[in-house]
Amino acid sequence: MVEPAKQLLAAARAAGLPVIYSTGDVRSNADARKPTNRQRETETENAYDILPELAPEPEDLVVYKQRASCFYGTPLMSHLVGLGIQSLIVGGGTTSGCLRAGVQDAKANGFHVTIVEECCYDRTPINHKVNLFDMHHKYADLMKLDDVVAHLQRL
């Protein structure tokens, strides 16, 4: 997933598109630590760090979230509206968790969503494939990386 994500990020930046990351807010006082949230599998300080190979550039936006969806309780919607964005190209993980929650919320908020198949992952192949299939039929276009990159190069 890392190499395809690097290619997607490079293509988006070359096309002049805004790049937005989301990651878990793991501060000790974050709302995600309230009892209403399920116990995390890991409580390590860097569990939600963005991989160094995919590190944001200075002009990129990083949204810190406290639940599965990158929209819930974050300023993401305000940023997207302010930028005049109507469609999203997404990747990340897990396919059945955070990615799916964000895709559903994006669709519910009126965005056209494209999932880049090679740029997302899950704990097991079956979860990954079933969720991609389901989201493709309900919420988003599912596209191959090469097709998305070719489209971005034409912008």
pLDDT band at 40 (very low <50, low <70, confident <90, very high): low
Average pLDDT, the chain: 87
Task: Exactly one of 70, 98, 119, 120 is catalytic; name it.
Answer: 98
Question: pTM of the prediction?
Answer: 0.85
Tell me the C-alpha to C-alpha distance, in Å, between residue 111 and each of 4, 17, 50, 53, 105: 23, 16, 25, 28, 9
Residues 6+ apart with CB under 8 A from 50: 21, 23, 56, 62
Q: What pLDDT is stored for residue 55 in this prediction?
A: 82
51-73 in b/e form (b: 16+ CB < 10 A) is eeeeeeeeeeeebbbbbbbbbee
Q: What pLDDT is stored for residue 56 in this prediction?
A: 85
Domains in the chain, CATH or no CATH each: 2-153 (3.40.50.850)
Residue 65 bridge partners (DSSP): 24
98 is catalytic: yes
